Structure 1
Amino acid sequence: MGILSWIILGLVAGALAKWLMPGKDGGGWLATMALGIAGAFVGGWVGSFIGLGPATGVNLGSLITATLGALILLFVYNKFLR
């Protein structure tokens, strides 16, 4: 997957995670992209253990996997690092 695909997937997944997670979150577009890209890695890692598979491109399965990973990261950030 190319860098542009990771950025697009990260932006969409990070925005979805921030929209789905209740509460006030800081950060702008760059933080949202970083959250989504890191979420794609975390989601792919967790997804490989439970049978969902990794984030492999800009498609619905990868978007769901990346968004779930971003939700995990956002939850950890809000509960433990804030």
Structure 2
Amino acid sequence: MGIISTIVIGFIVGLVARAILPGKQAMGFLLTIVLGIVGSLLATYAGQALGWYEAGVGAGFIASVVGAIVVLVLYGMVARRG
């Protein structure tokens, strides 16, 4: 059930990040899930590097959304170049 819950929460985080960021993001279902999961990982590792989280503690929902927005902005910059 851990993998399924990660996928569901990643999808929700990805949807919220796409809803907050203005503009059109041409992403499908799977990329939205990947966006949420990668954003959560980014927030977790950045938080641990800054000393906000201890090892083994994941980022919260809001931090995951912020991480997903950062990933989405970077994705948009790379997609425009290509």
User: Normalised by the size of structure 2, how large is the TM-score?
Assistant: 0.79
Rg (Cα) greater in structure: 2
Aligned residues: 77
In 2: Cα distance, 1:65 partner to 1:48 partner: 12
Q: How far 1:9 moved relative to its partner? A: 1.3
- Identity fraction in percent: 34
Gaps of 5+ in 2: none
Partner residue in 2 for 1:9: 9
Q: Which residue of 54, 60, 63 maps to 2:61? A: 63
Greater than 6 Å deviation, 4+ residue runs:
none
In 2: Cα distance, 1:65 partner to 1:52 partner: 11
Q: RMSD over aligned Cα, in angstroms?
A: 1.8
Contact 1:7 1:33 in 2 (8 A): yes
Per-residue displacement from partner, 1:5-34 (whole Å, max 9, x unpaired)? Answer: 211110111001100111110011111101
Partner residue in 1 for 2:41: 41
User: Normalised by the size of structure 1, how large is the TM-score?
Assistant: 0.79
The letter for the 1-side match of 2:38 is A
